[in-house]
Amino acid sequence: MGEEQLKRRLQEETQCVKAQAVGKGPLSMEEFSRAEKAIICFCQRRRFPDELICLQNGERVKKSSHLYKLDPILEDGVLRVGDRLDRAAMPDEARHPAILAKDFHLSALILNHVHQATGHGGRNHMLSQLRQKYWIPGACVAIRKTLSKCVVCRRLNATPGNQYMADLPHDRVSPDEPPFTQVGVDCFGPFEIKRGRSTIKRYGVIFTCLAIKAVQLEVLSSLDTDSFIYALRRFVARRGQVLELRSDNGTNFIGAECELKEAIGRWNHVQISDLLLQKGVKWTFNPPAGSHHGGVWERLIRSVRKVLNSILRTQNLDEGLHTVFCEVEAVINSRPITKASTDLNDLKALTPNHLLLLKCKPSLPPGVFQKKDMQKEDLFWRRWVREYLPLLQERQKWQGIKRNFVPGDLVIVVDDSAPRNSWLTGRVVEAKQDRRGYVRRVHIRTKTGFLDRPITKICLLQEVEDL
């Protein structure tokens, strides 16, 4: 039965009740019950006419009826569930609940009422409460539909989006470029050292080769722009030309300390960009809050912290901290990036140091030793292609293709520092696709302005087709 038909019937019954009412004022419980009964009877006559005819003639419903197992009875004109629980110590309405079809608009209204009455309860809670008065065959399906349409529940239970895992970018699988050609950078810390009677803080910056996962660690004396520029200049002077530098956006550098994030947010990015432009380096930002876009260096920061915690106890001098950083760098670059074999005849596991320490030195004259080094370097790069790259073939997660976010979708923006109830609601205004047509970043309009977020930091609240 449609919504308009039910509204007309409700208006007719209300007028009838008002006409029969002696006094004025709000409806009494008796009047309300009479109206409810009239609406239920009207719906049942529309949906179960054959069953009602059988029961009115004193017969059981036919076996072909989907109500046959309920052994329905007719009580005061209302079709109810049979009397198998007649001896149970339960209210009459719970022993013989009224039968309603799941596709009634009335059923949807009742389920919405039950859902709100149970404090936006789940399926089992709603089903238990519903059967105290009504019996809806296939109620679980109808309840799931009600839950899926509840905006409050969707807001509280929505999960961040994801999409089929992207292909590895060119800078992760290029054997024709020297190490540290494509680099990711991030900051971590702080570390306390003694200077006289006072304690001062030092920070670390990690430069990660995106191809071979080699690292270089530098100490930052402070969190100002000049300290980072000096560290960047030292890195380029030691490792050679960098084509692209990737980093997190703005204040989203790794390092949970608020001080670190706030200080990085105050960096003079124009000054840093000018330096990189002079050196021919492209600076690429990951989307805000998209920490997984820099997963290569984030994972290595955790490894660096683990080694630092085992080596670094108390360093009283800057020289000690610099030395520890160099030792940690050597340890990280000595870790295997391919599987180690237990067979003594097999080659040793490939490490970043195999490719770093055998780089050609332009200052050395060509000769036999350089040719041998070049042969070894070529061997290690061929092993990198043959042994390391196949390890990256499998997609460890996000293996299913999901619906793309499209402009007009209603979403909530994940904020890890705030409770879910206070997360911003916004609307997608632009969906950015990769070369395979999958959306991985979106531009959102909220009440506070526009935001650029990866899809893993937004939750779909309602599709544009349903608005």
Per-residue model confidence as pLDDT tens digits over 114-148: 999 999 988 999 999 998 999 999 899 999 999 98
- What CA–CA distance (Å, rounded) separates 29 from 448? 48
| Same-domain status, 276 and 355 | no
The last residue of one of the domains, among 112, 127, 157, is 157
Higher pLDDT, 364 or 90: 90
In a domain, residue 400? The reply is no
Residue 345: predicted pLDDT: 61
CATH at residue 121: 1.10.340.70
Residue 368: predicted pLDDT: 44
What are 215-235's pLDDT values in tens digits?
899 988 888 878 888 888 888
Taking residues 180-201, report their average pLDDT: 82
Evaluate if residue 274 carries a pLDDT over 90.
no
Cα→Cα distances 28→21, 114, 226, 301, 329, Å: 10, 22, 78, 70, 81
Are 210 and 190 in contact by the 8 Å Cβ rule? The answer is no
| Same-domain status, 123 and 219 | no
DSSP string, 368-386: HHHHHHHHHHHHHHHHIII
Evaluate if residue 429 carries a pLDDT over 90.
yes
Taking residues 37-46, report their average pLDDT: 87
Its domain, for residue 344, covers: 336-394
Evaluate if residue 167 carries a pLDDT over 60.
yes
Cα→Cα distances 331→214, 232, 335, Å: 11, 22, 7
CATH at residue 257: 3.30.420.10
In a domain, residue 403? The reply is no
3-state DSSP helix/strand/coil percent for the chain, to nearest 5? 45, 20, 40
| Same-domain status, 142 and 217 | no
| Same-domain status, 119 and 143 | yes
In a domain, residue 107? The reply is yes
Residue found by looking up tokens 């009600």 in the block:
146
- What CA–CA distance (Å, rounded) separates 427 from 444? 5
Query: What residues form DSSP beta bridges with 16?
Result: none
- What CA–CA distance (Å, rounded) separates 247 from 286? 6
The last residue of one of the domains, among 157, 183, 204, is 157
Evaluate if residue 93 carries a pLDDT over 90.
no
Residue 346: predicted pLDDT: 62
| Same-domain status, 180 and 296 | yes
In a domain, residue 165? The reply is no
The last residue of one of the domains, among 305, 334, 363, is 334
Taking residues 354-366, report their average pLDDT: 54
* Exposed/middle/buried for residue 409 (C-beta within 10 Å: 0-12, 13-18, 19+): buried
In a domain, residue 404? The reply is no
| Same-domain status, 238 and 321 | yes
What are 284-335's pLDDT values in tens digits?
777 776 666 666 767 777 777 777 766 665 555 677 788 888 888 888 888 8
3-state secondary structure of 186: strand
In a domain, residue 282? The reply is yes
In a domain, residue 162? The reply is no
Higher pLDDT, 387 or 141: 141
| Same-domain status, 319 and 358 | no
> Beta strands 458-462 and 410-413: pairing type?
antiparallel
pTM (global) more than 0.85: no
Number of domains making up the chain: 4
| Same-domain status, 21 and 109 | yes
| Same-domain status, 47 and 121 | yes
User: φ and ψ at 266, to 5 degrees?
Assistant: -90, 0
| Same-domain status, 137 and 188 | no
In a domain, residue 312? The reply is yes
Taking residues 171-190, report their average pLDDT: 80
| Same-domain status, 371 and 329 | no
| Same-domain status, 62 and 140 | yes
Query: What residues form DSSP beta bridges with 218?
Result: 205
Candidate from 114-128, 157-171, 375-389 with smallest mean pLDDT: 375-389
